[in-house]
Amino acid sequence: SASPTAAAGAVYKGLVFGLSAKGGFLYATNFRAGRIDVFGPPGADGQFTAVTTGGGFVDGGLPAGYAPFGIANIDGDLFVTYARQDAAKHDDVAGPGHGFVDVFDTDGHLLRRFASRGSLNSPWGVTRASFAFGRFSGRILIGNFGNGRIGAFNNDGTFAGELEDADGNPLAIDGLWTLTLGGGRGSSSDSLYYAAGPNDEVNGSFGTIAPAPGE
């Protein structure tokens, strides 16, 4: 719904599949309600039903007004990004430092805070770079919907720098949504794919990002 209310439905911004000891589940970021909704495992009819998790995907250290925005499964852990909600709790409020990233297990237990504020600006897409990605090989890449920039982080969450264009300027992709490492049919496991909604999400864009030769 473009005009959601507490009773009128969710605003889902991200979705990922994950495995726990109980089976396979779908994890959806409900930006309107400020929670992770979990569905599954599928029954005999193939339908996923809403379930609860042991941990509940709770981070008591988050400031008020932030809600789950993006979600990614990296090496079996769930990386959840948080953006600031607008008054309607339908869209984000972009701005420097507007963002957090947490890591949970697939039963909803908080493992650690991965990143806070800093270079984050409505972070959404998260993936791990391939190990053939130049100086950021193997780093966790976090894409900011707010300014289109992509930050690289070490495994401990320390900031390692931003992706740059061939001229050494920060790479910025208007309306940056998701980041996905290739590896499926017809793609290279070293390719970094992105999807974006430029011009205030009126248009769509899909492409790849590669390190500069010799980097």
Tens digit of each residue's pLDDT (9 = 90 or more) over 50-68: 999 999 999 999 999 999 9
pLDDT grade for 8, boundaries at 50, 70 and 90:
low
Give the separation between CA 189 and CA 132, rounded to whole angstroms.
10
Give the separation between CA 68 and CA 58, rounded to whole angstroms.
11
Give the separation between CA 196 and CA 60, rounded to whole angstroms.
31
Average pLDDT, the chain: 93
The secondary element (H helix, E strand) that includes residue 72 is strand 66-74
pTM of the shown model = 0.93
Give the separation between CA 27 and CA 49, rounded to whole angstroms.
12
